[in-house]
Structure formats: C-alpha cells, structure tokens
Amino acid sequence: MVSQLEKHATSLNSNVARSSPVVVSEEAEALSHSETTMKLTPSFELFQLLEEFEGGKAPPSMSGNALRTPIQNGKDTLAGFDLSEYLQNPKLIEALPDPFKMVEKELQPFSDSIKELVSTDQPILSMAAKHFFEKRHGKRFRPTIVQLVAKAVAAATPDTGVPSGNVQWSGASTLAEPVTPENHQGSDVWRRQAQLGQIVEMIHVASLIHDDVLDEADTRRGGEAVHKLYSNKVAVLAGDYLLARASVLLARLENTAVVQIMATALESLVAGEIMQLKSPPETLLEMETYLRKSYYKTASLICYACRSTALLGGHVYDSAAATACEEFGFHLGLAYQIQDDILDFTAAASVLGKPALADMDLGLSTAPILYAAQETPSLRALVMRRFKKKGDKQAALEALYKSVTAMDKARALARFHAQVSFDFTFGT
C-alpha cells in the first residue's frame, strides 16, 4: 500500500512533482509486511478522479478494482439512472425514500449505546469525549451509510473459488450461515456491521476534535468546539481517547483484514492533514491535488468502511461486491466533500454548523476557487501563497462571484462523482 502512496505522481495537467503526504518511509513500511498481509492501494488509484475532458482516465485493472461490475440493463432497478433529472426536478427527489429513515430504527440502539462505549472514570474527559454523541450528534451520516451498505451486501451472493495463495482474496468473516435479506437484521453479522458504524463515527468525531484544535476553530455543529469548552489539552486527549476506544472495538470485530483496512483509513486522515499543511505552492492549483486531499481527509474513511462492511458480511476483499462498496463510498465521499466546499461559499454559518468561508481563512483553495483560477490568471498567485496578503481573500471572492462558470463547474464535478456512485452494482 505505502509503495503506492509514496509515489511522486505526475500531475495530469503539469510536470510538477507532488510531495508525498505519508510520514513513514517505504523501507520502514516494508518491514511491517509479510506474505500474508494485504497490500492496499489508495482508492484514487483504483477509481477515476476526474472526467475525461478534464484529463481524467479510468485506472488500469489491478487488485482492488479488477472485478468492477457495471450495471447491466434489466438486472438492476437503477440501470439508466440519471441524477441530473432529479436535480432539476425537486418533486422526483421528494418521491425517493429517505435514506436516514430507512435505517433509523435499526441505528437507534447503537446510537444510544455509543455514549456508554466512550465513557470513562475521568469526568472532564468523559464529558469532552461524549460531547458530539449527546448534545451535538449531527446527522450520523457515516453510520447510516454503513447500515445501508450492509443491507445491500446482504442481498449479494458471496464469491466462491478463492484462488490458492492469493492474499487479496482473503478477508471475509467466517459466517455460521449465509446472510440473506430475510435473516440479516438481528444476526451476528448485522450486529458487527452496526458496531463498525459506531467505530467509524468515533474516528470521525476524533478527527473533528483534533482538526478544530489545529485550525483554532471556535464552533462545530452549531455549537462551541470542544477545545473552546474545555482546553486544547483536554480536546487532544478526548480525541486520542476516542481513537483508542475505536481501536479496541475494531479488534473485537475479530477480522484482521477489516482491522488493516480501517487502520489504513486512520493513516489516510493523518496523511490528508499533512498534505493540507505541506503541499508545495505549485500543486495548490491542481484539481487532482485537491481531490486527493479530499480523498484522504473525507472519502477514505467512508469508502474503507464500505468495503469493510462487505467483508464482515462474508465477501472477500477482491470480490465484485466489496469492490463495488469501496467504489460507491469513494465517489459518494468525494461528492459529499465537494458539495460541502461549495456550501462554504453559498450557505450561512447557521446552515453549515461552522463559520462560512472557513477554508479560505485557513489558506485552502477548494473546487470553486480552483475553477475560478483557471478562468482568472491573476487569482493563481493568491492561491499559491494561501491568501496570506491583505486583500487576497476579498480579491479571490470577487473573482469567484464574477465568474460565470466556476461554481457551475464545481457542481458538475460533484454530480460526476455522485452519478458514478450509481453506475456500478453489487453484481446482482
């Protein structure tokens, strides 16, 4: 995995070498691998980042994407689904089932018990750790996705005929009986998949607490950030404690492949933060750099959780079902982040739950600004110096709002990833 992560890839649109966000050397990482450990490849090397007209291309077939299964007409009710039609007609969207309500009752016991799972004998640490699970629990987007994917893979028949000696064809949990839509809910498989949803939420919340300390943010989810309520020290310890608890619960799933995959998700979160802080100025103008960072910081946790859900359901790592799960999570995670970045410019702080224009305050350029910079050359120098000079942010905003294409291009990029997430099925 790390050998892939540590490559200095060439930009699709320039010859500028990209610095690696990984903090472990290739030699050091090689020492931890053996013939029986999986070599994971980052999802952005398995699946497509950009549309063809922007320089994107489908990655070559390799372990992790070799069994991608396109939807076949007549075999899937979503065949031919066009997301644009729904975006243009709100009534079509209103007619769709609410994904949160589809699993609301199933998630409720696990949502209630997560507060107890992070309790500790230290009162201040316990209050800080439980803050986002009690008063500011948010939409529980990630546990909902895990539960929905669990339902989907329960309807897919696990692959058989595992190639001898192929480690990538390992990883499936051993099941007492095959999982079906009829026996899934209430089963041991269902319980472990729901527990994975809890673990993913713990990791996500820990990353929010740590990010707020690094970014010196005042608010989160419409209330005060944990470090503002307590202190930086308490916030850092609370985040560390959540990661420790998540690690213990992850081990209790008793699937070493899932442990490795989700540990890689943790590594990706750190890699994304380093990439955000240390990317060379020239790379800050590249859309691919922005998308890779978005993968590390947001999409990686979602897509690795989706593939892990398939493994817990009895599907091997390289199966069509597990691959479809990761690809779905990859594109959904990127669409989610791009749309969040658009809202940073178009929505009020009360809607976002955090200050508007927060990314620019941190010197970060997201899709809308990058597209505006393609149209307005004078904006590029501001992006490369991270808006550090007086008047830079105002000038960038003016360029963005004067642009007739930048915001539309950003929305189109989000739609591309959202659409692709529908274009592959679980092989049913």
Closest CA to 219 of 355, 343, 101, 100: 355
For residue 405, the SS3 value is coil
- Residue 64 falls within a domain, yes or no? no
- Domain span at residue 253 reads 97-157+170-427
Closest CA to 139 of 204, 228, 218: 204
Q: pLDDT class for 222, splitting at 50, 70, 90?
A: low
Q: pLDDT class for 132, splitting at 50, 70, 90?
A: confident
- Residue 386 falls within a domain, yes or no? yes
Worst-scoring range by mean pLDDT, 107-116, 242-251, 328-337, 350-359? Answer: 350-359
C-alpha radius of gyration, the chain, whole number: 21
Tell me the pLDDT tens digit for each residue of 335-366.
999 999 999 898 755 555 556 678 898 999 99
Angle formed at CA 239 by CA 276 and CA 191, multiple of 5 degrees:
105
Average pLDDT over residues 388-392: 95
Tokens encoding 32: 């931890």
Share of the chain above pLDDT 90, in %: 52
pLDDT of residue 129: 76
What's the CATH code of the domain at 150? Answer: 1.10.600.10
- Residue 129 falls within a domain, yes or no? yes
Distance in angstroms (rounded) separating the CA atoms of residues 424 and 75: 12
For residues 428 and 98, the model is more confident at 98
Tell me the pLDDT tens digit for each residue of 302-332.
999 999 999 999 999 999 999 999 999 999 9
Tell me the pLDDT tens digit for each residue of 180-195.
999 999 999 999 999 9
Judge whether residue 246 has pLDDT over 50: yes
Distance in angstroms (rounded) separating the CA atoms of residues 305 and 300: 8
- Residue 199 falls within a domain, yes or no? yes
Judge whether residue 214 has pLDDT over 80: yes
Tell me the pLDDT tens digit for each residue of 4-51.
333 333 333 334 344 455 556 777 777 777 777 777 899 999 999 999
The top-scoring range by mean pLDDT among 149-163, 231-245, 368-382 is 368-382
Q: pLDDT class for 117, splitting at 50, 70, 90?
A: confident
Helix, strand, coil shares, percent, the chain, to 5: 60, 0, 40
CA end-to-end distance (rounded Å), the chain = 30
Judge whether residue 379 has pLDDT over 90: yes
pLDDT of residue 13: 39
Rounded to two decimals, the pTM is 0.88
Residue with tokens 């979602």: 302
Judge whether residue 71 has pLDDT over 60: no
- Residue 250 falls within a domain, yes or no? yes
**In 158-291, where do the E strands start and end?**
219-220, 223-224
Alpha carbon separation from 116 to 141, 191, 263 (Å, rounded): 20, 17, 23
Distance in angstroms (rounded) separating the CA atoms of residues 293 and 269: 9
- Residue 338 falls within a domain, yes or no? yes
Residue 159 CA from chain centroid, whole number: 26
The number of distinct structural domains making up the chain is 1
Average pLDDT over residues 368-396: 96
Task: Return the number of other C-beta atoms located less than 10 Å from residue 297's C-beta.
Answer: 21
Secondary element (H or E) of residue 293: helix 287-294
Torsion angle (degrees, nearest 10) of CA 362, 364, 369, 370: 170
Average pLDDT over residues 167-175: 78
- Residue 423 falls within a domain, yes or no? yes
Closest CA to 24 of 263, 242, 304: 263
